Amino acid sequence: MKVGDPVPDIKVKDMNGKDINLKDFKGKKLVVYFYPKDDTPGCTVEACSFRDNNEKIEKMGAKVIGISADSIDSHKKFSSKHKLSFMLLSDSEHKLAEAFGVWKQKSFMGKKFFGIERSTFIIDEKGKIAYIFQKVKPQGHAEEVIKVLESL
């Protein structure tokens, strides 16, 4: 995906098991962030930062949506434990991650595997990519997103 591309027409489940398609949010700005795994240190920092800044982001006319390959049950536990105030989507078959180009080969302690590269996409009201953050550092990321939203 690159700036100007339309969001893909792919359905996934939210943490309540409801079918969600990012195209359904046309008319609203979205902050779609892909993260590797529920309840891990970096992902928790990032999610809690979005939680703490969610009201400000919503006042700017945008909706935060977190996406990982974790299960619906995992998302429910993660959201409840950290009192997350936004939607999490379960991309268990990594169709969205692949479409957005964030399903990548990674390496940890000499082992290679595929997983989500932490990335955030701002999607405009027309359903097109307006801004991309790649290889995101969790600390302070929500504040970076707010700065970009202010400039759009």
Which amino acids are annotated catalytic?
Answer: 43
Query: CA 143, CA 102: separation in Å to the nearest integer?
Result: 22
Q: Which residues contact 59 (CB under 8 A, 6 or more apart)?
A: none
CA angle 114-81-117, nearest 5°? 20
Tokens of 133: 């953050």
How many other β-carbons are positioned within 10 Å of the β-carbon of residue 25? 17
Query: CA 85, CA 79: separation in Å to the nearest integer?
Result: 8
